[in-house]
Structure 1
Amino acid sequence: MSKTAEGGGQFDLAQTLQYLSPSFNSTRQTGADGADLIDSAALRGLGSDQTLVLVNGKRRHTVALVNLFGARNRGATGTDMNSIPLLAIDNVQVLRDGAAAQYGSDAIAGVINIQLKKKQGCEAVAGYGQYSAGDGKNYLASAYCGVRLGGGTLGITGEWQDRGRSNRARPEDFPRIIGDTKVKNQTIYLNGEFPVSGVDKLYVTLGAQDRDASSAAYGRGGIGSDDIPVRNSAAMYPNGFVPFINGKIEDRALIAGWRSQFAGWDTDLSQTYGSNRLHYNISHTLNASIANKDLLAGGKGISPDHFDAGGFEFSQATTNFDVSRYFPELLGGSNVAFGAEYRSERYSIFAGEPGSYIDADGLNFGGNAGSQGFPGFQPADVTSRRRSSYAAYGDWEVSFTPNLTVDAAVRAEHYSDFGSSTTGKLSGSYKLTPSWLLRAAASTGFRAPSLQQLYFSSTFTDFIGGRPVPVQLAPNGSAITNAAGVPALKQEKSKNFSLGTTFKAGRDFDLTVDAYQINIRDRVVLSGRFTADNFPDIAPLLNSLGVEQTAFFVNSVNTRTRGLDLTAAYRNKFGQGQLNTFLALNVSQTRVTDVNAPPKLQNFKDVLLSDKERLYIEQGGPRAKATLGFEYTEGAWTGEAKLIYFGGQTLGTFDGPPVPNQVYKPKASMDLGLSWQATPALKLSVGGNNVFNVKPTKQDPNETDNSFIYEAVQFGLNGASYFARAYYKF
């Protein structure tokens, strides 16, 4: 990770891992409302909330946002990887086995552990990048200093990033803006460990990021279009306009702990806290119902042009007590560990100002209610919910022989809102030769439905084939879900199996191969859209809410994911220098194996899980991804070339059969970089990403999720970019 922080072409963690780890997927969304502001990330083609993220081995909080739009992670929450500055990171471990028996909920696809630096010395990075189209200018300034304090080391990292908006809209798309969100980040992280007395150590991590982000919503037409007076006012935007969805994101994190020993046992007592808050402010907009009411009263047809639209917040506090001890004489050598955990979570939605949601000129009449682009959260959406969980686990690793190691773990957990879950894991490894290792694992896992999935409520406008459609996302237990017979959400349950090998030939060659299967039962997904036409029972409710469609979360599908991970690295002398070659590959396939419809929806399975929603689950990420990289170093110069292959994807259409699906052909992107170690302390780097300006397969914009010819899949739609960095160590 240090090399990418010093001279890589990506300036944030999610995009860095996207091009390093083949099983990791994170594609910046565009035209996806809140999902444009926070990049989601996932492993092995599963949801972002099925990957557990740790920082220094401790559970990291998720974001408050629920992804509703975009081609990735619909209906899922996740962890904001970009809230942690690259320069603060020592290494990132991607543990791809299911690990719910050790860590609890969310560790179905695997675990990502981010280890932060706590070494002495200082370093700084200044970076600049932009797209070849001339936009998306990206400025980075970051510095780390590790100072000796109280016999230990405190690492302090500060980062400032300013990324400009990009726009790939064509003249015929006017008024539209399609591209990267505008982002300004200010981040600070502290990480340290300090000896207290004897074997006692105090450790602490503090992190804070403030992000101002601005995403462009779908454009509204001007005079002569159907948008006046429904979505626009001739007096305000005669030529049409693009509303901006602005988000103020505040992310906070704390880890504090005490490591010690008692009667030969190692102990670790820790407290972790994290929170994520997203507050929306909508600008360059209007409330068309206010403007129309003003027009009907003899005015010009004026509305305020910006609104506080409210938002949401999620916080999580986790207390852990872990105990472990190694017994060298027990069954050839045993490591015994056990522990307990208490976790408390809170989720809240707060309303916007009245103008952001009211229908001033009357329900289903004249101008549409709320701020265009993103109607504010209403008093009916406001909620504040809490839950807690208690867990205990045990882990026993035994080295029966110098070649054979077996590990067994079990974890029991109780949640205050849905009950209990017990999971287990059995894994083993066997050394065939000193350089060749076989390993296998079988485990059960679970994922608790997030508070966001349980209680999120919102009324918004979706553009389907270019036509605006008012939609309500109904929370579990609401009048709509009760009318549909949707039961209370419960936990997902999984069974994970893996078989792999590692091979090492001296210092020059390493190979790892892992095959896996993940079966998930009662997966929580966002339903398809129910209307008065396809489900008449809810017609009166939809009419009373002034919306045409509704969707909700439900434990509606079983899935099976099968795949293969492969990594290989070869190092050898070449000419006067050193050539390092690596290959990383992931191939995976997710299938919906069953649809679990509540009794009242048995005859509506094709709506509950439409073809479009099924394909988002099965192919939201590419089914194959590979990176072939070459790094050549001679003297003070290092050149890098990476070829990144993204497999094909197939996504659904709004109109469905007989309209053909969106087929995205496999694509490959080339990254190039050159670094010069000008002095022992100073390194200068330049390079380009996707230098051949490759873009996804063109589609019918009436059928894509963002109503544009390019969907934000594979490596995105922005094309080639270039960068320069200066790294200084002192």
Structure 2
Amino acid sequence: MKRLLCLLPLWTACAAALADPPAPRNDWYELPLDELVRVQIPPQADVGSRDGTHSALDAIVPTDVYTAEQLQSVGPGGLAQALAALVPGFNYPRPSIADGTDHAPPFTLRSLNPDQVLVLVNGKRLHQSALLHTNGTIGRGSSGADLNTIPLLAVERVEVLRDGAAAQYGSDAIAGIINIVLKGYGHASQAQLGWGRTTAGDGLQRQAAVFHSTPLAGDGFINLTAELRDRGATNRAGPDALDGGRINTHFGDADTQDAVLAWSAEVPRGDTSLYAHGHVNRRNSSAGAFFRRADDERNLPQIYPQGFLPRIEPRITDFATTLGAKGTSDSGTEWDLAYTGGFNDFHFYVANSLNRSLGVSSPTAFDSGATSLAQHTISADLRRNFGPHTLSGGYEYRVENYRIRQGEPASWQLGADSAWYPGAQGFGGFAPENEANAWRRSHALYLDLKYALAPQLVLNAATRAERYSDFGSTLNGKLALRLRPAEHWLLRTSVSSGFRAPSLAQSHFTSTAMVRDGDDILQYGSYGVDHPVARALGATDLKPENSRHFTLGAVWQPTPQLTASVDGFVTDISDRIMATGYIAGWNLAQLSPQAQAILQQNHVDGATYFTNAVGTRTRGLDLRLDYKQELPQGRRWHVSAAFQHAATRITQVNRAPAVLGVDMTDLILDPYTRVTMESGQPRSAFKLWTQYSTPRYDLAFNLSRFGSYASTYGATEVTFGARWTLDAQFSYHWNKNTTLTVGGTNVLNARPAQWGATDDALTGAGKIIPYSQYAPFGYNGAAYYVRLGVRF
């Protein structure tokens, strides 16, 4: 609160220099009722500017809006799948055999990392998952928000800001912002029942959801959404020639059950409104690790005579809530005071497994421990209009807590019966020395000014200062300019700096396993940067990733029905945080004798930790077109086309710690890591969504092109070609309250190229695991679904 009081003199000084506010516009009140009911308001967005909602022709930075109608028209999956179908540059691979990542796959925007996208719900920060992606997937070394914890039926629209915005909203907003706007006042209550499966016969999906809205006086409301989702596993693994041709591996979607409750409410009290929103999600999931054949030395035939497939079965709890009050003072200043809390708990369980080192007395199911993340934010925001100008400011205080909890002893301990295989196979448990309980606090002050230099020329200036308890302070700024040279044209540009605070998981994640080597017991694994082993090997406290952004674009809107835009962008990021490769003599040939002595003294065979490693530049181009047409007899046609090209390249490599005796390229940029960062995601994407509506039925198509991408098999880089997919949906309105929907996703049954189909030298890779983990639309093939919707 003291920091907010320090802001008030600056607020007063800026406010005194601005003009008096004008009277609000009342144009719509002049329309007759028969015309008013046919008015289609252009999509409005809140994110990107703090002067209120704005349409495409007013947006000072590029922002897209996706309506509930669009999100519901592309299949029965969750919110992440819907955005992947509609948003170019939104990449959502579905990896398999990747530990926890199978159960909460990360998404990316503009080919950057999951933790470089800020996710908001009704403008308030959504916490990230406690899961740190440590396997060979897109998003390795990062944590991101889990969008599928929010039920689609609760969502009114999703706003996607395609510009750096950390100077306005704080850490993480480097690739952009996704703002999920929940349904508010005036929405009808409804229920849905859905069923679907793939044409291959697996992946059964069952869904039941209810949205109930209770209107209150003064445009108040209480909205509740409950949803149950049951998604069966898919499997695209091939036969194992060394196991009699059996398909013994699971390579596909996890078997997942979600139970979700979401709420949103607003209660007016005179000039003040009390509001709340949030959700709680409980997910049980199950997916396979690598199969152990019967004659594998990791197996005990007395327990598994046919071999075994370990199952990783986490139980994930996700909770978020916002409580706040907002209003307008007598002077016309709008204020908003809110608390936002979030919690994610990722508890690992392993089934159908064993601890080989315990021999035949080993259990076959294990509690392997958990990671959790809690986040608490208090924010105070002020906004005042002065004629055509707007001044905003505020203060934010945030507390974060990251924990690692140990698993049961059998999940991590090294017994006497084996030289090499301790702990639960599939996912070894967290040991007592891996436990962590890390805290961080931050304070932030911001100012945001929209100033009309002329009726056609608007300047937006923003600055934000933050101080973190673990790494210090940051100061970032943004300047954006909007020019309307003609009635139907808008030119815009922006330049800004930004940052991403290192996550507590990157700083403190520790996971080790013991190995018996004769009479010695060695360890290998990942260490937090403050761990004695990591410190001795040159680890230092992580610094924030710093970014610089430039955008330049234009919007053309010749009629209210047609909008087209083009925007180019450049994003430079320095000190990107990455995990080292294994620091060990067997992995780094030039490792110094001093570093090898440190490993031996600590009985460590190989160690990794996170470090600020490289700088990158991402260049891209966005094209958008949206057209709506009202037709006779209540018919409508809506088409939306979008294209994005984004390419990232490494521009700088930092120095490695001198104690290691190697350079950062050897320590960090093995062929796999370089390919993942520069070409592991499609550089281009095209989306064409169209819907034809009548009073009796709706027909929607969604055509997508996923550009080429690369992956590695061993040290070999393999490029996979572009693919087209098509989704189709038909909805029949039995009456004004009942709708039957049938549809299909990827109806042309497109599959990504297989390993063996791209290079004869890799034919062996395509026998058991035929597809790359990086495939941007998965590998399930075609699926179909039916859904019944009822309004009440």
* Matched residue SS, 1:670: strand
Task: Summarize the Cα distance change of 1:38–1:542 in structure 2 as closer, same or farther, 3 Å threshold.
Answer: farther
Q: Residue in 2 aligned with 1:587?
A: 645
Q: Residue in 2 aligned with 1:709?
A: 770
Amino acid at match of 1:206: G
Amino acid at match of 1:170: G
Cα deviation for residue 129 of structure 1 reads 1.5
Cα deviation for residue 233 of structure 1 reads 0.4
Verify the 8 A CA contact 2:71 2:83 in the aligned structure 1.
Answer: no
**Aligned equivalents of 1:704 and 1:193: distance in 2?**
55
Verify the 8 A CA contact 1:101 1:444 in the aligned structure 2.
Answer: yes
Task: Summarize the Cα distance change of 1:310–1:334 in structure 2 as closer, same or farther, 3 Å threshold.
Answer: same
Cα deviation for residue 627 of structure 1 reads 0.9
1:478 aligns with 2:531: yes
* Matched residue SS, 1:400: strand
1:718 is aligned, of 774, 777, 780, to: 780
* Structure 1 segments unaligned to the other structure (5+ residues): 292-300, 462-468
* Matched residue SS, 2:454: coil
Deviates more, 1:77-86 or 1:560-569: 560-569
**Aligned equivalents of 2:684 and 2:167: distance in 1?**
28
Matches within 5 A, 1:667-682: 667-682=723-738
1:193 aligns with 2:266: yes
* Matched residue SS, 1:452: helix
Task: Summarize the Cα distance change of 1:202–1:280 in structure 2 as closer, same or farther, 3 Å threshold.
Answer: same
**Aligned equivalents of 2:373 and 2:156: distance in 1?**
27
Verify the 8 A CA contact 1:236 1:302 in the aligned structure 2.
Answer: no
**Aligned equivalents of 2:543 and 2:600: distance in 1?**
30
1:388 aligns with 2:441: yes
* Matched residue SS, 2:233: coil
Task: Summarize the Cα distance change of 1:33–1:705 in structure 2 as closer, same or farther, 3 Å threshold.
Answer: farther
Q: Residue in 1 aligned with 2:721?
A: 665
Amino acid at match of 2:674: R
Matches within 5 A, 1:240-319: 240-262=307-329, 263-291=331-359, 301-319=360-378
Deviates more, 1:587-596 or 1:147-156: 147-156
1:206 aligns with 2:274: no
Q: Residue in 2 aligned with 1:135?
A: 202
Verify the 8 A CA contact 1:704 1:711 in the aligned structure 2.
Answer: no
**Aligned equivalents of 2:191 and 2:680: distance in 1?**
37
Cα deviation for residue 573 of structure 1 reads 7.1
Q: Residue in 2 aligned with 1:630?
A: 690
Cα deviation for residue 104 of structure 1 reads 0.8
* Matched residue SS, 1:193: strand
* Matched residue SS, 1:652: strand
**Aligned equivalents of 1:699 and 1:691: distance in 2?**
23
**Aligned equivalents of 1:597 and 1:706: distance in 2?**
41
**Aligned equivalents of 1:338 and 1:384: distance in 2?**
33
**Aligned equivalents of 1:704 and 1:276: distance in 2?**
36
Matches within 5 A, 1:75-86: 75-86=141-152
* Matched residue SS, 1:17: helix
* Matched residue SS, 2:293: coil
Amino acid at match of 2:285: A
Q: Residue in 1 aligned with 2:177?
A: 111
**Aligned equivalents of 1:484 and 1:257: distance in 2?**
47
**Aligned equivalents of 1:455 and 1:286: distance in 2?**
28
**Aligned equivalents of 1:453 and 1:212: distance in 2?**
25
Verify the 8 A CA contact 2:568 2:622 in the aligned structure 1.
Answer: yes
Amino acid at match of 1:217: A
Cα deviation for residue 201 of structure 1 reads 0.8
**Aligned equivalents of 2:263 and 2:683: distance in 1?**
38
Deviation string for 1:240-280 (max 9, x for gaps)? 11101111111011101111233331111111000000111
**Aligned equivalents of 1:705 and 1:460: distance in 2?**
31
Deviation string for 1:495-518 (max 9, x for gaps)? 000011111121332112111000
Task: Summarize the Cα distance change of 1:407–1:722 in structure 2 as closer, same or farther, 3 Å threshold.
Answer: same
**Aligned equivalents of 2:488 and 2:679: distance in 1?**
37
Cα deviation for residue 95 of structure 1 reads 0.7
2:500 is aligned, of 426, 430, 447, to: 447
Task: Summarize the Cα distance change of 1:707–1:525 in structure 2 as closer, same or farther, 3 Å threshold.
Answer: farther
Cα deviation for residue 494 of structure 1 reads 0.3
1:652 aligns with 2:712: yes
Matches within 5 A, 1:558-597: 558-572=615-629, 578-597=636-655
Task: Summarize the Cα distance change of 1:431–1:460 in structure 2 as closer, same or farther, 3 Å threshold.
Answer: farther
Verify the 8 A CA contact 2:592 2:661 in the aligned structure 1.
Answer: no
Deviates more, 1:253-262 or 1:152-161: 253-262
**Aligned equivalents of 1:513 and 1:180: distance in 2?**
36
1:421 is aligned, of 474, 488, 502, to: 474
Deviation string for 1:620-646 (max 9, x for gaps)? 321111112332234512222222101
Verify the 8 A CA contact 2:74 2:745 in the aligned structure 1.
Answer: no
Over the matched positions of the two proteins, sequence identity in percent amounts to: 36
Cα deviation for residue 687 of structure 1 reads 1.4
* Matched residue SS, 1:87: helix
Task: Summarize the Cα distance change of 1:681–1:609 in structure 2 as closer, same or farther, 3 Å threshold.
Answer: same
* Matched residue SS, 1:309: strand
Verify the 8 A CA contact 2:592 2:662 in the aligned structure 1.
Answer: no
Verify the 8 A CA contact 1:314 1:346 in the aligned structure 2.
Answer: yes
Considering only aligned residues, what root-mean-square deviation do their CA atoms show, in Å?
A: 2.3
Verify the 8 A CA contact 1:7 1:725 in the aligned structure 2.
Answer: no
TM-score (norm 2): 0.85
Verify the 8 A CA contact 1:127 1:726 in the aligned structure 2.
Answer: yes
Task: Summarize the Cα distance change of 1:571–1:28 in structure 2 as closer, same or farther, 3 Å threshold.
Answer: same
Matches within 5 A, 1:4-15: 4=70, 6-15=72-81
Verify the 8 A CA contact 2:422 2:513 in the aligned structure 1.
Answer: no
**Aligned equivalents of 1:176 and 1:536: distance in 2?**
41
* Matched residue SS, 2:678: helix
Verify the 8 A CA contact 2:577 2:614 in the aligned structure 1.
Answer: yes
Q: Residue in 1 aligned with 2:20?
A: none
Task: Summarize the Cα distance change of 1:379–1:626 in structure 2 as closer, same or farther, 3 Å threshold.
Answer: same
Deviates more, 1:165-174 or 1:437-446: 165-174
Deviation string for 1:334-365 (max 9, x for gaps)? 10111111000000000000000011017xx4
Amino acid at match of 2:230: D
1:510 aligns with 2:563: yes
**Aligned equivalents of 1:705 and 1:550: distance in 2?**
31
Deviation string for 1:502-538 (max 9, x for gaps)? 1112133211211100000101112233332213655
Task: Summarize the Cα distance change of 1:586–1:264 in structure 2 as closer, same or farther, 3 Å threshold.
Answer: same
Verify the 8 A CA contact 2:229 2:258 in the aligned structure 1.
Answer: yes
**Aligned equivalents of 2:598 and 2:68: distance in 1?**
55
1:684 is aligned, of 720, 734, 740, to: 740
Cα deviation for residue 326 of structure 1 reads 0.4
**Aligned equivalents of 1:351 and 1:138: distance in 2?**
34
* Matched residue SS, 1:49: helix
**Aligned equivalents of 2:512 and 2:718: distance in 1?**
28
Amino acid at match of 1:273: G
Task: Summarize the Cα distance change of 1:243–1:702 in structure 2 as closer, same or farther, 3 Å threshold.
Answer: farther
